[in-house]
A and B are shown apart, each in its own frame.
Chain A
């Protein structure tokens, strides 16, 4: 009898823990989609020959590479390596796109920021001393496509500008909300 309660109880606890954990991730992502600040980002091809990877396209952004001089305080060489968490400040431009206007390490004190601006969280990939650029990732470098639609989009992306509408949460976590071909909304993400 004891073994039976232990086993069945254990199985229920395991399921509850695993499902609860997964559910919390979904909730977190849905919350960003629902409440996050919206920013429109210009997509720039990462590697034009090889955008399509299995069932998703790889996306690069204008903000994937920013001048090192944007960092305040200046980026130390020790921090300019892979994995350092940073926050990049974005401001809306006249073209409706958001552009980087500042950057800082995540664990530094934030300075005063105008209401209209948004900080997006990323990590450093590499920094090139010679050309004074820092490459960053924001966790939104992938867009999963319905089967069979990849090739067409890959082709179009080489020819005309694509945009991503991203939602940015309180802590700067970014989440893809919609995928634009010029002004046309190709895909819009439901909350769940």
Chain B
């Protein structure tokens, strides 16, 4: 995706230059900028390298779990330590020879070997109990690596591990312990790290995981104020991203997509509200607000962002089904339900197709002008 974007912009730059919209130095400066950014992103080969790293990493983790009488355990620990060293050093070397993606993949393998070592030591000494804590330690180790090596991929990995920590923590002690508010602290640290390592996708994941955090907090405490606040904050983010895109970009450095996050967070919040008040009159109000929000999002941001557009359609469609099931669905038989749903979706598809066509027409005009 990144690669196609780069080639598209390069074509545009050439065209602008030919049409005299920009001068040659500007064109060169723009190309340089594109190239420098493209290096941080992933090309197709880069994606393959990272996938390979993930597979190798998984192999390391499985190797720890299985096969464990074949090798003496000292040998296995030694092997994992050697992999940690080799993967980090090899990754650094690959980065030096300008194989950025392969280097990052090396760091990922190193991080997986570190996690595997934690698991193996737990197994060696029959440590029981805190899986959550082990994940946190793993996350810390990968974060340190991300900072020192300035690795974007490791930053993303650390965010994913942190989110799994939150998940395990809340599911493990589902009955007893409180919501781990330290998570916000972890996210703040990882956010700072992502600015240092230039890991934009890590920031997207952090914003997403905040939605997860709010959702789990609600499920844990059943305080309806949490989804309300989530919906409110998400609305704020959406509006800010719509009317003050530069400030939001300067503040969050997401490189776009803030509106999508806003709509996602809003929908997550409103879904919980709707489920909570399903049998009360408030339900219709909540449903109307959600419909309104998806249409509002379409009007305010649909033109620029295709992802936002499709998310808004999806929200509208799903909301329609929910309202339908809650209100009339119970009165009809299964067959009637299927017919009605099919008809509804057909109408929706028709509207969306029309809408998409209208979106394309002005965009094409704008491009030609």
Contacts and interface: CB of A to CB of B under 8 A. Distances in A.
Interface of A: 3-4, 7-8, 10-15, 17-19, 21-23, 25-26, 29, 54-56, 81-83, 125-126, 137, 139-144, 146-147, 175-176, 189-190, 192
Contacts of B95: 7
Interface in B59-97: 65-69, 73-74, 77, 81, 84-85, 88-89, 91-93, 95-96
20 contacts: A7-B92, A7-B96, A7-B149, A12-B88, A14-B110, A15-B85, A18-B114, A18-B117, A18-B145, A19-B84, A19-B85, A25-B121, A26-B77, A26-B121, A29-B125, A56-B126, A81-B176, A82-B176, A126-B176, A192-B77
B144 interface: yes
A82 B84 CA distance: 36
B82 to A, nearest CB: 9
A140 B128 contact: yes
Nearest to A176: B126
B92 A139 contact: no
B141 A144 contact: no
Contacts of A140: 126, 128
Contact of B128 (A7, A18, A137): A137
B129 A139 contact: yes
Interface residues of B, number: 39
Instruction: Identify the interface centre among A8, A10, A125, A126: most chain B CB within 10 Å of its CB.
Output: A10
B144 A14 contact: yes
By Cβ-Cβ distance, the 8 closest A-B pairs, closest first, are: A142-B128, A11-B92, A82-B176, A11-B88, A7-B92, A141-B128, A15-B85, A29-B125
Contacts of B110: 14-15, 18
B126 A143 contact: yes
Instruction: Identify the interface centre among A7, A54, A126, A137: most chain B CB within 10 Å of its CB.
Output: A7
B123 interface: yes
Contacts of B124: 26, 29, 192
A10 B149 CA distance: 6
A56 B113 CA distance: 22
Contact of B148 (A10, A55, A125): A10
B177 interface: yes
A8 B141 contact: no
Interface in B295-309: none
A180 to B, nearest CB: 14
B53 to A, nearest CB: 15
Contacts of A7: 92-93, 95-96, 149
A10 B110 CA distance: 13
A13 B85 CA distance: 10
Nearest to B111: A18
B62 to A, nearest CB: 12
Given A8-B93, A12-B89, A144 B126 contact: yes
B149 A11 contact: yes
A139 B96 contact: no
B127 A142 contact: yes
A13 B110 CA distance: 13
